[in-house]
Amino acid sequence: MQRKPVSSVIPPYILRKIIDNGSGHQQDYARRTLNHVQHLMAHNWQKPTAPKNATGGHVDREIYDAQNTESLPGTLVRKEGQPENNDIAAKEAWDYLGVTYDFFWQAYQRNSLDNQGLTLRGTVHYGKEYQNAFWNGQQMVFGDGDGEIFNRFTIAIDVVAHELAHGVTETEAGLIYFEQAGALNESLSDVFGSLVKQFHLKQTADQADWLIGEGLLAEGINGRGLRSMSEPGTAYNDPMLGKDPQPAHMRDYIQTREDNGGVHLNSGIPNRAFYLAAKALGGYAWELAGRAWYDTVCDKELPQDADFKTFAQFTIRHAETRFNKATAQAIEEAWKETGVLS
């Protein structure tokens, strides 16, 4: 059965570590979040409807406040044309929804997530010390974290963009959220999440940190972020969270029934392939490697159950079609270095 991905930032395996290693209240919040995440991952959501008068190049945003309840969307606190309030989470959500829109419009001439001017909605202050953020097919939802393990979930622009990018993948490729297709789905969100951050900071591939969720881990946690695209498996190593379990090569591919067949784990392999391609090609990563990945997502020939190898072949073909053989060869080499192609 195909599931539309209702993706959350913090994967189940991290929440389980907190349940195993945390103090009483930390375990309690993690357990409640995990139960909610599992419910989300099994849930089918309707696609939102776009406004009929949407024009390209102009973002339409709405920010809501759940006021620490789990009621969505909550109370509307800001829409286009209104001034900001003094809520840092609401401001970050507003700003980063806007940057994500600008990235897709300026880099790929895409008019919002659905390419039809979809209003970008975000709800802040969801739940009580809720240790996650998620895209539910309709909107972004941000928890506040607990300040001990996770900071507020609006803090990292790449996390915001990661979740929104699921809306792009769902609209275009509809990759099934299971095993390799699901890991590609997660990886694409990491790719576009990182590219939005690099676009915002005007960084080249060489200048970027290639971390996902930098700033999200609280001060006492030993880690740089949730994931590393350049060195999967090295983002954190902490008594509470354990060691980052992501593989970087096909020889370390994880067979598991958990996490929808390891979608947040094995995404490390295509993540590293993208990083290697972007580094080899140089310059702004969204221009060459990013464009080949974006063209692949928008290719209606891409199967919904595509595996890594199939996806890799599509990126190579699109790179040659749009650019040249040298670009395609650099991308092919990246997939070979991660063991996806031989």
Is 99 domain-assigned?
Answer: yes
Claim to verify: residue 144 and residue 242 sit in the same structural domain? no
CA distances from 270 to 9, 47, 283 (A): 18, 27, 20
CB 150 within 8 A of CB 217: yes
Give mean pLDDT, residues 15-25: 93
* Tens-place pLDDT, residues 181-231: 999 999 999 999 999 999 999 999 999 999 999 999 999 999 999 999 999
**C-alpha neighbours within 13 Å on the C-beta side of residue 249:** 7
CB 173 within 8 A of CB 318: no
Is 228 domain-assigned?
Answer: yes
Is 132 domain-assigned?
Answer: yes
Q: What is the pLDDT of residue 37?
A: 76
Claim to verify: residue 249 and residue 305 sit in the same structural domain? yes
Instruction: Give the chain's length.
Output: 342
Claim to verify: residue 198 and residue 290 sit in the same structural domain? yes
Nearest in space to 265 (alpha carbons), one of 252, 278, 279: 252
Distance CA 337, CA 184 (A): 17
Of the residues 155, 172, 189, the one at which a domain ends: 172
Q: Would you say residue 1 has pLDDT above 90? A: no
Claim to verify: residue 188 and residue 143 sit in the same structural domain? no
Is 2 domain-assigned?
Answer: no
Claim to verify: residue 228 and residue 280 sit in the same structural domain? yes
Average per-residue pLDDT for the chain: 93
Nearest in space to 65 (alpha carbons), one of 137, 163, 142, 138: 142
Of the residues 140, 157, 172, the one at which a domain ends: 172
Of the residues 172, 201, 229, the one at which a domain ends: 172
Amino acid at 84: E
Residue 49 burial (10 A CB sphere; 0-12, 13-18, 19+): exposed
Tokens of 39: 């419910």
Q: Are strands 140-142 and 120-124 parallel, antiparallel or unpaired?
A: parallel
Give mean pLDDT, residues 7-30: 91
Is 5 domain-assigned?
Answer: no
Claim to verify: residue 183 and residue 129 sit in the same structural domain? no
Domain that holds residue 250: 179-337
Annotated active-site positions, please? 163, 264
Claim to verify: residue 186 and residue 68 sit in the same structural domain? no
Claim to verify: residue 193 and residue 112 sit in the same structural domain? no
Claim to verify: residue 201 and residue 164 sit in the same structural domain? no
Phi, psi of 313 (to 5 degrees): -65, -35
Q: For the chain, what is the domain count?
A: 2
CB 63 within 8 A of CB 90: yes
Tell me the pTM.
Answer: 0.95
Claim to verify: residue 84 and residue 226 sit in the same structural domain? no
Tell me the β-bridge partners of 228.
211
Give mean pLDDT, residues 312-334: 98
Is 7 domain-assigned?
Answer: no
Tokens of 164: 């929104």
Give mean pLDDT, residues 157-182: 95
Claim to verify: residue 109 and residue 244 sit in the same structural domain? no
Nearest in space to 156 (alpha carbons), one of 72, 95, 78, 246: 95
Nearest in space to 26 (alpha carbons), one of 227, 240, 235: 240
The CATH number assigned to the domain holding 106 equals 3.10.170.10
Nearest in space to 260 (alpha carbons), one of 198, 151, 149, 181: 181
Q: With cut-offs at 50, 70 and 90, classify the pLDDT of residue 46.
A: low
The CATH number assigned to the domain holding 241 equals 1.10.390.10
Is 26 domain-assigned?
Answer: yes
Three-state SS at 122:
strand
Q: With cut-offs at 50, 70 and 90, classify the pLDDT of residue 49.
A: low
Q: Are strands 61-65 and 120-124 parallel, antiparallel or unpaired?
A: parallel
Claim to verify: residue 85 and residue 226 sit in the same structural domain? no
Is 100 domain-assigned?
Answer: yes
Distance CA 124, CA 93 (A): 8
